[in-house]
Structure 1
Amino acid sequence: MPVRADDLPGTAAPEDPSPPPGQVIIGRFDQRPPYAVHRPRGADSWLFTWTTGGTGLLRQGVAETLAAPGDLVVLGPDTPHHYTVGPGARHWAFWWVHCQPRPSWTSWLRPYGTGDRLYAVPSAPDGIRARVDTAFHRMLADARWTGEGTPPVPPTAPEDTEVAVAHGTAARELALCSLEEVVLLTAARSEPRRSGADPRIRRAEDLIAADPGAPHTVRSLAERVALSPSRFAHLFTEQLGHSPMRALRHARLHHAARLLEATDLPVERVATASGFGSPFHFSRVFRQRYGVPPGEYRQGLRDDG
């Protein structure tokens, strides 16, 4: 939820330098006023923050947001930013990670952008929070792994201030895997919804998102949410601004794009796994959505990498 503030408290570390973009650094802080960090040129890497206690205030360019427990806030690079303990809060406890995100993460975060590369993901449910906290504990331990023996056991209660740098390739990749789990559990668990939507329509959205490749129809979805097909189609379109089948096609194309990014499955198998009966139809609608055919989309990602 974006907020406005006239100014921030004094800076604890003026022009605090950011880690270089190639590194993965994770830490846990529990800070009290007047803690603040000010980077007038922004950071070279992305900054992910997960609040566990108190409140934080983060500003990126002219965009601002308050961070409460269960909120994921991400700041993109190369934009002036400030962050501090929230107004009136006694402290701000949070995990933070400086790194370069994997390519797929930006599309998951994009719906939560508030401007100037600040992404504020709404508070996660308690069950998800527990898994996210576990992922951060594991991330801290894995970042300290030398690659020999087994990774350290994740601490159950880290100190208020702990920082680890993932030096080795294995440590960096394991830490990024845990951070990817965090992003998936929070930002990618569902797309932002309109407030006040009928719970039955939300349930239908969840059914589509959970298995976009399934043979969903208006009738089958309506039956799952205890509505007649006509009432379901009308209510869905009225509340979300598009039909159930359009939502299904969007979810299938999104799923297909993720498969193209993360796997080497042939395009025909990607089409089938995403619920498209015809590879030709899949290629045509994929090009309409992403501007290039599926094979070219995959190749472009590899060329960029």
Structure 2
Amino acid sequence: MNADRLPGTAVGGVPSPPPGLVVVGHFDQCPGYRVERPRGSDSWLFTWTTGGQGALRQGRAETRADPGQLVALAPGVRQSYGVAPGARNWRFWWAHCRARPGWSSWLRTYGAGDGVYVVGPVPAGLHGRVESAYRRMLADARWTGAEAPPVSIPADDRVAVAHGTAARELALCALEEVVLLSAAAARTPAPPPGVDARVRRAQELIAADPGAPHTVRSLAAAVALSPSRFAHLFTEQAGRSPMRELREARLLHAARLLESTDLSVERVAAASGFASPFHFNRVFHERHGTPPGAFRARHR
């Protein structure tokens, strides 16, 4: 399959790949290449640019994709992307899939609005490893489960669809490496103007160990504020209370454990900082729309 056979406009009977599939490819497009999805995509799109420049728009958010940048577009929002105006080409790796829940916490820092995440620039020393992970993803997507996965891909192999369960999981593991490497090593965007350093520090403490027994008092002490002053400042600047921020971080951590480990639901609850499994089940269901056990079955 090559780009010439793909639709320029994805509407009606020509939708984006369904979220249950993992589709990966590598394109080198000339000026004029553009994809429009007025209804948005049904799955996440992850692009890694290796040459030229791309232009992506989703909702009201716009960004340019430069070499060494990972750009992720969440599903469900009107989107368009193509070769940037004035650029000679756009050479990039891409993947459509359902994102693993744990990736949200890695991408959150790089949110540009309307489900757009711009991760980068990633240090040049990691570019080869990120591209290698995408190449492995393309090869693993073709694994049939009968022999060993292919160790290389033909030069003209540009698009692959992972149909089997094992092939999908291997491909997602390679993409997870891309997301983790990029998000961990990229230059963190400057915080919004006016955000107090003590609020940022408290957010970092929560994100670093959501399962710890954090309280308003302990977080306030860590940033040298009184509990009442800290709670007011945090809520004012973060848009939600410290305990709400903590609960969201714990639920994300729990989702990651359910997806990637065989720990019982009770142990996942305890490891994520929830004292009561009953309370954990209730708030997890409220947040994700399904009980923890059903969530694990669906995502594994």
What amino acid sits opposite 1:299 in the alignment?
A
Letter in 2 for 1:76: P
Code of the residue aligned with 1:267 in structure 2: it is: V
SS of equivalent to 2:119:
coil
Q: 1:14 to 1:214 in 2, by over 3 A?
A: closer
Question: Which residues of 2 match residues 193-212 of structure 1 at below 5 A?
Answer: 195-196=192-193, 197-212=195-210
1:60 offset after TM fit, Å?
Answer: 5.3
What is the distance in 2 between the residues matched to 1:238 and 1:44? 35
Is the Cα contact below 8 Å between 2:29 and 2:91 reproduced in 1? yes
Tell me what 2:3 maps to: none
Q: Which of the numbers 15, 30, 41 marks the counterpart of 1:32?
A: 30
- CA 1:123–1:291: 2 relative to 1, 3 Å: closer
Alpha-carbon separation, structure 2, partners of 1:35 and 1:160: 19
CA drift at 1:282: 3.9
Is the Cα–Cα contact under 8 Å of residues 33 and 83 in structure 2 kept in the other structure?
A: yes
| Structure 2 gap ranges (5+) | 1-5
CA distance in 1, matches of 2:26, 2:271: 40
CA contact (8 A) 2:199 2:234 kept: yes
TM-score (norm 1): 0.67
The verdict on how the C-alpha distance between 1:48 and 1:280 changes in structure 2, with shifts beyond 3 A counting, is: closer
Residues 41/71 of structure 1: CA separation in 2 closer, same or farther (3 Å cut): same
In structure 2, do the counterparts of structure 1 residues 280 and 254 end up closer, same or farther at CA, with 3 Å as the change threshold?
A: same
1:174 Cα deviation after fit = 1.0
Match of 1:4?
Answer: none
Structure-1 separation of matches of 2:288 and 2:41: 31
Describe the shift of the 1:204–1:132 C-alpha distance in structure 2 as closer, same or farther (beyond 3 A): farther
Q: Distance in 2 between matches of 1:132 and 1:252?
A: 29
- Pairwise mapping of residues 81-96 of structure 1 onto structure 2 (< 5 A)? 82-96=80-94
Which residue does the alignment assign to 1:8? none
2:64 aligned partner: 66
CA deviation vs aligned residue, 1:191-232 (integer Å, no higher than 9, x gap): 9995133455434322311221123345655676xx424398
| 1:276 lines up with 2:271 in the alignment | no
SS of aligned partner of 1:29: strand
Query: Percent of counterpart pairs with the same letter?
Result: 56
Q: Which whole-Å CA distance do the structure 1 matches of 2:31 and 2:288 have between them? A: 49
Residue number in structure 2 paired with 1:104: 101
Structure 2 letter corresponding to 1:164:
A
Q: Which residue of 2 aligns with 1:76?
A: 75
SS at match of 2:212: coil
Tell me whether 59-68 or 202-211 shows the greater mean CA deviation.
59-68
CA distance in 2, matches of 1:29, 1:93: 6
Partner of 1:170: 166
Structure 1: unaligned runs, 5 residues or longer = 1-11
Residue 121 (structure 1) shift = 0.5
8 A contact 1:29–1:160 mirrored in 2: no
Q: What is the identity, as a one-letter code, of the residue corresponding to 1:73?
A: A
Instruction: Give the count of matched residue pairs.
Output: 281
Alignment correspondent of 1:233 = 230
Question: How do 1:15-164 residues align onto structure 2 when only pairs under 5 Å count?
Answer: 15=9, 21=18, 23-38=21-36, 46-59=44-57, 64-69=62-67, 70-74=69-73, 76=75, 82-98=80-96, 100-102=97-99, 104=101, 112=111, 114-115=113-114, 119-124=115-120, 126-127=122-123, 130=127, 132-153=130-151, 162-164=158-160
> Within 2, Cα distance between the matches of 1:154 and 1:203?
44
2-side partners of 1:297 and 1:290: how far apart? 11
Q: Which residue identity lines up with residue 180 of structure 1 in the other structure? A: E
Compared with structure 1, are the counterparts of its residues 46 and 228 closer, same or farther at alpha carbon in structure 2 (3 Å cutoff)? closer
Alignment partners' CA distance in 2, 1:291 and 1:49: 26
Change (3 A) 1:25 1:256: closer
Please report how far the alpha carbon of residue 233 of structure 1 lies from its aligned counterpart in structure 2 after TM superposition: 2.3
**Residues of 1 paired with 2:236 and 2:104: CA distance?**
26
